[in-house]
Amino acid sequence: MTALLSFCSVPSNVLTKNKQFYTSRKNLSKIATSVVPRMSLSPSKTSNQQKCKCSLAVDAPLEAILFDIDGTLCDSDPIHYYAFREMLQEIGFNGGAPISEEFFIKNISGMHNDELCRVLFPDWDFERAIKFMDDKEDMFRRIASEQLKPLDGLEEVCKWIENHGLKRAAVTNAPRPNAELIISMLGLSDFFELLVIGSECERAKPFPDPYLKALQELGVSPKHAFVFEDSISGIKAGVAAGMPVVGLGLRNPENLLSEAGATFVIKDFKDSKLWAALEELETEIPAGKIKT
């Protein structure tokens, strides 16, 4: 697999083998801007990119749009990757060698923490593994609080959704504190009517349970809704729930998102393919619901 993530090196002066640094993490908020590797995007082009299907198979009328959070509302994957890379290296994971971007995409991105405990630490007892994950999430939140910004075009999409009177929910495998922090930081606390956490369902993504729960609580049929997702597991969950999924190809390879079932893939919420699809759906929304 050719990874899309290209991280610049972390400054050597912030790398340390001092365990107390990772335990206390008191300096993270001060060095957050310089610590997290920046991503250089170089998404692969496909010969069919310009011919991509830009229609969403939603029965009229469109009633709801559901969003993943990490990597969909904001570009949070660099922070997750950094936190995992540093903390796993500190405990000697992978022989003490830093995990690669490809490893992160294939084995970590989009998964929930209970599942990651089994994937990353099959020989650990669950309490020890989940403590590591909790510490990693604490590290993520400290850095994220200094850096997260909405994905390009998100404000315009949210305004379009509000103007058309559509229902909306955030559906994520992230821990609730992470999800609530991100939603608050992006100014979307009043936008989302519902927040569904994968670990609080019987099964998390890639199973459809979180999306089915969101649809049930919103009172919407999957035939009248669609999903925004950036991960393979999330796309599989949305498709399994019976909805078309628009893939966000910011970090994960476009071909893998398409193979997982994405109807089409966009680079951000300003992508012309998305707005062409929304314009098509707009003709099927009752005029009385549209705010002028």
User: 219 — alpha (psi -120 to 50), left (phi > 0) or beta?
Assistant: left
Query: Of the listed 59, 68, 77, 230, which one is catalytic?
Result: 68
Query: Of the listed 70, 77, 209, 271, which one is catalytic?
Result: 70
Q: Which of 73, 66, 104 lies closest to 88, judged by CA?
A: 104
Is 68 part of the annotated catalytic residue set? yes
Q: How far apart are CA 254 and CA 250, in angstroms?
A: 9
Going by the DSSP 8-state scheme, the letter that residue 65 receives in this structure is E
Q: Is 236 exposed, middle or buried (0-12, 13-18, 19+ CB in 10 A)?
A: buried
Strands lying side by side in the sheet with 245-248? 194-197, 167-172, 64-67, 225-229, 245-248, 264-266
Q: How far apart are CA 114 and CA 111, in angstroms?
A: 9
* Residue entry with tokens 């089994």: 118
SS3 264: strand
Question: Residue 6 in contact with residue 42, Cβ under 8 Å?
Answer: yes
Question: Residue 234 in contact with residue 71, Cβ under 8 Å?
Answer: no
Q: How far apart are CA 249 and CA 282, in angstroms?
A: 24
Instruction: Spell out where 106-198 has E strands.
Output: 167-172, 194-197
SS3 248: strand
Is 152 part of the annotated catalytic residue set? no
Beta-carbon count within 10 A of 88 CB:
22
- Known catalytic residues are 68, 70
